[in-house]
Structure 1
Amino acid sequence: MSIKPISSSVNCTLTKIGQRARLPVAIAGILLSAQSQAFLPTPLSVVTTGELADNSTPESVTAPQKNVVTAKAVVPLSSNVQTDAQQPPNSAAESLLTDWRTQVKTENLAQHTTWRRLLYFYDGQNRALAKKKTESLIDDPSFFLSERGQQDSGAELDAMLVVLAQELTQSSTTNDKRVNTQANRSISCRFPARVAWLKNVLTIDDASLPAECPELDEWTQKLAPEQLSIMFAQEYLDNPTSAFAHTLLRIDSKASVADPSQIHHAYALNYTVGGNPADSFPVYAVKSMIGGYDSIIEIDPYPERFAKYIQDDERDAWTYQLNLTPSEVQQIIRHVWETKDLELPYYFATDNCASEILRLIDVVRPQQHLLSQLPYVVVPSDVVQLLNKESLLGSTNYTPADSTLRQAQLNKVKEQRDQLGYHNSAKQMINEIKSAQLNPVSSMSDNKQTLLPRSIAVSDNNPIDRHPLQLGYVGMGQRGDNNYIDIGVRAGYHDTLDRPSGFPQFFDLGGAAATLRLYDKDDHSSSHRDSQPKSVVLQNVTLIRGRSFNPINSAKKGKTWGATIEATRVNDGSQENGTDHLVGSVGYESGWSWAFGTPKANTGEMPPQLCYTFLSGTAQTGRGLNKGFRVGTGVNAGCRYQINNQLRAQAELQLPYWYHGNSNESDVRGHYWQPVSTLGLQYDIDKKQALRLNASYDWQDRVADHDDVQLSYRRYF
């Protein structure tokens, strides 16, 4: 990882310790016989983890290649070899280490959950791409003092104790000038979170630890951490990398704790992907999914980061204070110091901005096992809901985006216009309010240093209120003369008929979905026996499907567009009595949308009803298609209507014109219209259950079964 400068470059690396002179060791080895050596105590640099590891064979510890204090840099405490400072043997360190090792073995501290999490051992984490659970997620050797530290938490603990014992007993015999010179290299300065934990479990006196760590102290003083909050920026489909929302940590000082509007006294800790800007979006997306980029920890002044979300992207934001004690806040910041420069692969779905927040909390709350409670895919809103369920969220603050504030003004003007009657000046005023350039209203002050008092009511998009993102459903339906049962699952996310609370208005994004269809048919009762489907078919597999609605009569910026990548069953109209077959399909839409109706009073929400028109283009391929492919273009138009809080309806007409290529066969069409009309109706039983009615009619005359009606039970989990 790398860290972005806070205000000026903070030198966070430690100077590599010079190698000890080996000549005195060689001379001592020649002069001392094997018999005389047998009476000497064992040096601490040789005794490492024999008492802590599962096997009894002592291991050696090697120096990492980066700037880290290592166990090999520790001078044999009981030999006659002097240090660079010509210090005498340190028997006090041996005694201290013996006591520590006894306690470590008695209490099995090498396997303590907190210690293993400080080393990135996550025994219970659900990660499809994770390493073995017996291995740390960190590959960087600079993170370990022992050469076996990545595989053995006991080896790393013993190496820490060796170095710590040396430092603690040397501090009382070394002059102050040398202590100050070596301060930044000390184990307490390089791994302050590890040392803080050891101090507590081993009851180490604060007075014996290094008094100062200049670089760490400077870094910590800039942040001045007193309180941590999680900031959630809602989903933003117009930037695909932000489609699933974003979370970061707000680090508050005493000043911003006393007055949360004083955000210039706070910092943002942002975990993100260190992608290559020169890569195309498809390359960027694939690399982000498979760990092709390293992660980055960015620490910026909070106003800079916050403005990007509510002003540039115009995304509403929710900030939740974390219920952490002051000591837990300090320990998290210490751990960030230890890990901020590590190079870790970034996985968009599993190791992302949301999972990192849970990992940091897990370090100070080992009993809660937050990461292990989430599925393989970690989504920011799931993290907010989990923290709320675990009672880790305190006070909540809603900050409307600039477009939300403009929409609130627009709602008031339109209400007055409807009451007073339409006139040209009202139209001009509406256009000015909708313009971000002419109406720079914002939740932030002009200098972007403070938050202004909220002037509107809270919108219904708090992620705590949303339905679970995973979905399973069972449906019973009839297609033509054939009855069937559909069994389906959707890994995420939400469509326009789902319960809208907790989501941005008209949000429509889904993916990783599949439907299996089981037909109940009598082969002897149908006149279309040859065209009947098989008993069990894969009806649909959706990789990604989404639509971004930015109504032209609202204050939202952006275009209305949609995209789909899926495999689906179709019955094309090129041949008489053709059978339905599975095809790969890629589609893109671009068009316009309009919001209408009466919005909620004193909010920045748009009117609840929506109509839209798309110009569409689709390409499909499959063995069942005439010539193996077809491409289509046309118009998709529809409306979505919010009947009440529990009931919604949506109707759509698709008018694609398909082309297969010219054909010499007289009964085969190379191009044709294939209109399809659909109707959907959903009733919410509660937050996790719903009933949905779907109906469609295919107007193509060559299709055997024109109508399809289905009633399904949907369970969100």
Structure 2
Amino acid sequence: MSIYSKYSNLLPIDCTPTKIGRRARLPLTIAGLLLTAQAQAFLPTPASLVTTGELALNTPDDNSASKSQSNEPTLVAYTEPNNTIKPSIGSNIAETSATSNHQSISSSNAQQLLASWRAQAKTKNLAKHITWRRLLYFFDDQKNLIGKKKDSSIVDDATFYLNKNGQQDSAAELDALLVALADEMATTPDNSNASNSASNRATKNSVQNSVLCRFPARVQWLTDTLNIDKSGLQVDCPELNDWMQKLAPEQLSIMFAQEYLDNPISAFAHTLLRIDSKASVADPSQIHHAVALNYTVGGDSTDNFLVYAIKSMSGGYDNLIEIDSYPEKLAKYLQEDERDAWTYQLALTPAEVQQIMLHVWETKDLKLPYYFTTDNCASEILRLIDVVRPQQHLLSRLPYAVIPSDVVQLLNSENLLASTNYTPADSTLRQAQLNKVKEQREQLGYHNNATQTLNEIKSAQLNPTSSIAADGQTLLPRRIAVADNNPIDRHPLQLGFIGLGQRGDNNYIDLGVRAGYHDTLDRPSGFPQFFDLEGAAATLRLYDNDNDKANQPSSVVLQNVTLVRGRSFNPVNSAKKGKTWGASIEATRVNDGSQQDGSDHLVGSLGYETGWSWAFGTPSAGTGEIPPQLCYTFLAGTAQAGRGINKGYRVGAGVNAGCRYQINNQLRAQAELQLPYWYHGSSDESNARGHYWQPISSLGLQYDIDKKQALRINANYEWQDRIDAKEDIQLSYRRYF
């Protein structure tokens, strides 16, 4: 709604007496007053009026033949000593010539204001101001991000700019906005003829193209920075007003949905913004008064998984900003995906909340490339906060990849999280019931006449318990203890390690790095139970060789490069649905066992596993956690290719079985037996085998020194008579960063 301020100031009239007869004084004085008032209307506004804040108000000529047909007020802008804009209302009943004179005065004022704004903008160097450039999607403080250049905006949509060179020149775009503001200050829509449809259409189009309606966040920042009063802008923005009224933003929170390996696109967790209205701020359980702002990939559902993953990683898809009902979005994570959720209220002021939402308005329809690791749901939240908190440079603190849990930890370290709330998934609530019933049966003994069987408790259809009320509108009070999966508590995702080991008769040193994420021996706090996902890892091995011995490995070898390796455990005796499975894509060093006294070779390896897992032990009291011990069995298939192995390839199938044991909060152990049967194809070489078993047993033990340090022991033994160095044992120091 337009805001009008009424002022009534008269033009100063300077009357100097002269030596004239008394009889002539009265008519001459009256004529002088009329002429002075009329002449004043045709003169440009003196600079003194601009600087001293005097109002120039036109006085209509009652004898004019051309009159305005409306008594609607007309806005005339004037300035005060601090250069802020104030509106004034004058009569619209004036001759055509008087109206023209009125507009020329407004135009003159606007030019004076524009000159003043330009001078201030130049003095403050606003064109290079980090907030201004962030509003335009310039990433000056970002390094090593795919597809981003410091000298241009990533937005190539011409409608996002007022100046044709705005994408490359933030100064030109700033000046274009100043000019547009000055023009809008000097122009008042003509409402004198309401029946004129052409005039109405022009006025409507003018409103729609107003910079205040198109770029409210930019205007807000610029008017605040230059101390410009926007009340001089007589523009109503119905679409923007309706949008803001519908969202009614009072408070923003981050909702974190934990990692979900059964959907690889969600394997690294997800974050979205919860927009609270006054009603949901007053009572957070009234989630139907909240809205979800979700930044995601606008992928093509007809693409297969491999194409989808490649395009998501490489910017082959556009981003998609979704604004949905918060209860519906929350239900998807809690009920469909069975993912616990953590909600963190952001410590932002009401003005910062409003500015973020105005910026969302002006960017919500942009088609920007989506990058899975750098421009994703988590990076967008940091970018929005950076717009209102430029001094904290949040996005630049995560230069290589932006992971949702890293964002939560960063905001926590910067004291930007005001409160925390845990919402358990439906399966977590059922697991809590299952734990309680099992505990009672262990204490009292099993009864065949129990009112609920374990299968009934685990069934979502037979036991529809949820954190959301049946009406889908309200969040119910939490009935179980908080789980140990708050991402704030987890170890840093990056890892570096150094290991001392012995393989056969050869001593070695391993140097390794892992970009992310977590394996089953890592410290479990802050992660979903039994979470196992590693990516972008590499190990370099340095051997202390004895050159007098045959078949010695090279002094320096690349031991392993892992693109991705992970396992999803959904125990069949728990309340979680889903299968137990695993997959890996890596290059690793192997001895294929087909040739006598063969040596190690680096091969590309692709593996997939599917099977079953079982949980056992005593879970944490009062929680919906699964018992901490785990055993599993997989049916596995693997394909490997490399120049050093027989025929250059081999395929294998077999069984992988193991157990993971949580000894205490700081110590865990895992044992596994792999029974692959390898096939190379037929061979004419008498000493080469085309197929064979190659069992491998392994043991791992990790002790956590603290959240960022650990010691690990790994031991492997290959049950293969043609391999000389069968055993491999290593002690490593691991540092998370």
TM-score class, shorter: 0.7 to 0.9
Q: Report the TM-score when normalising by structure 2.
A: 0.84
Rounded to whole Å, the distance in 1 between the matches of 2:693 and 2:491 is 39
Q: Report the TM-score when normalising by structure 1.
A: 0.86
Rounded to whole Å, the distance in 1 between the matches of 2:103 and 2:718 is 92
Aligned length: 632
Map 1:540-555; keep pairs closer than 5 Å: 540-555=560-575
Q: 1:292 pairs with 316, 323, 327, which one?
A: 316
After superposition, what is the alpha-carbon deviation per residue over 1:520-577, rounded to whole angstroms, capped at 9, x for unaligned?
12212x3xx1x21100000000000000000000000100000010000001111100
Q: 2:343 pairs with 319, 322, 333, which one?
A: 319
Which letter does structure 2 place at the counterpart of 1:380?
P
Q: 1:475 to 1:520 in 2, by over 3 A?
A: same
Query: Is structure 2 residue 689 aligned with structure 1 residue 669?
Result: yes
Query: Is structure 2 residue 303 aligned with structure 1 residue 279?
Result: yes
After superposition, what is the alpha-carbon deviation per residue over 1:483-525, rounded to whole angstroms, capped at 9, x for unaligned?
000000000000000000000000000010000000012212x
Contact 1:180 1:212 in 2 (8 A): no
Q: 1:498 pairs with 522, 541, 545, which one?
A: 522
Residue of structure 1 in register with 2:133 after alignment:
116
Map 1:29-428; keep pairs closer than 5 Å: 88-89=103-104, 90-171=107-188, 182-210=206-234, 212-426=236-450
Residue of structure 1 in register with 2:465 after alignment:
441
Rounded to whole Å, the distance in 1 between the matches of 2:260 and 2:307 is 20
Query: Is structure 2 residue 583 aligned with structure 1 residue 559?
Result: no
Which letter does structure 1 place at the counterpart of 2:143?
N
3-state DSSP of counterpart to 1:408: helix
Rounded to whole Å, the distance in 1 between the matches of 2:610 and 2:450 is 30
Q: 1:378 to 1:86 in 2, by over 3 A?
A: farther
Q: Quote the sequence identity (%).
A: 75
Residue of structure 1 in register with 2:27 after alignment:
none
Rounded to whole Å, the distance in 1 between the matches of 2:100 and 2:433 is 73
Cα distance, 1:476 vs. partner? 0.3
What stretches of structure 1 of length at least 5 have no aligned partner? 1-40, 42-81
Contact 1:660 1:671 in 2 (8 A): yes
Contact 1:226 1:329 in 2 (8 A): yes
Cα distance, 1:186 vs. partner? 1.1
Which letter does structure 1 place at the counterpart of 2:606?
V
Contact 2:212 2:235 in 1 (8 A): no
Rounded to whole Å, the distance in 1 between the matches of 2:260 and 2:398 is 23
Q: 1:85 to 1:409 in 2, by over 3 A?
A: farther
Rounded to whole Å, the distance in 1 between the matches of 2:452 and 2:651 is 43
Residue of structure 2 in register with 1:646 after alignment:
666
Q: 1:127 to 1:339 in 2, by over 3 A?
A: farther
Cα distance, 1:302 vs. partner? 0.5
3-state DSSP of counterpart to 2:390: coil
Residue of structure 2 in register with 1:47 after alignment:
none
Cα distance, 1:131 vs. partner? 2.7
Which letter does structure 2 place at the counterpart of 1:286?
I
Rounded to whole Å, the distance in 1 between the matches of 2:238 and 2:685 is 84
Contact 1:126 1:374 in 2 (8 A): no
Cα distance, 1:665 vs. partner? 2.0
Cα distance, 1:140 vs. partner? 0.7
After superposition, what is the alpha-carbon deviation per residue over 1:339-382, rounded to whole angstroms, capped at 9, x for unaligned?
00111010011000000000000000000000000031110000
Residue of structure 1 in register with 2:591 after alignment:
571
Cα distance, 1:206 vs. partner? 3.2
Cα distance, 1:85 vs. partner? 10
Cα distance, 1:712 vs. partner? 0.2
Cα distance, 1:210 vs. partner? 3.2
Rounded to whole Å, the distance in 1 between the matches of 2:544 and 2:521 is 28
Which letter does structure 2 place at the counterpart of 1:282?
L
Deviates more, 1:304-313 or 1:126-135: 126-135
Deviates more, 1:660-669 or 1:707-716: 660-669
Cα distance, 1:232 vs. partner? 0.2
Map 1:553-702; keep pairs closer than 5 Å: 553-702=573-722
Which letter does structure 2 place at the counterpart of 1:675?
P
Cα distance, 1:93 vs. partner? 1.4
After superposition, what is the alpha-carbon deviation per residue over 1:269-324, rounded to whole angstroms, capped at 9, x for unaligned?
00001011111111111111111111010000101111110011010000000000
Which letter does structure 2 place at the counterpart of 1:558?
G
3-state DSSP of counterpart to 1:268: strand
Cα distance, 1:209 vs. partner? 2.3
Rounded to whole Å, the distance in 1 between the matches of 2:568 and 2:251 is 36
Which structure's CA Rg is the greater one? 2
Contact 2:546 2:552 in 1 (8 A): no
Q: 2:478 pairs with 454, 464, 482, which one?
A: 454
Query: Is structure 2 residue 531 aligned with structure 1 residue 476?
Result: no
Q: CA RMSD in A?
A: 1.8
After superposition, what is the alpha-carbon deviation per residue over 1:88-118, rounded to whole angstroms, capped at 9, x for unaligned?
4421211111111111111111111111111
Contact 2:142 2:399 in 1 (8 A): no
Cα distance, 1:201 vs. partner? 1.2
After superposition, what is the alpha-carbon deviation per residue over 1:153-189, rounded to whole angstroms, capped at 9, x for unaligned?
1100000011110101223987697667743321101
Residue of structure 2 in register with 1:17 after alignment:
none
3-state DSSP of counterpart to 1:377: coil
Which letter does structure 2 place at the counterpart of 1:486?
D
* Greater relative CO (CA pairs within 8 A, separation 6+): 1
Contact 1:362 1:370 in 2 (8 A): yes
Contact 2:145 2:399 in 1 (8 A): no
What stretches of structure 2 of length at least 5 have no aligned partner? 1-43, 45-96, 195-199
Cα distance, 1:599 vs. partner? 0.3
Q: 1:660 to 1:174 in 2, by over 3 A?
A: same
Rounded to whole Å, the distance in 1 between the matches of 2:315 and 2:684 is 50
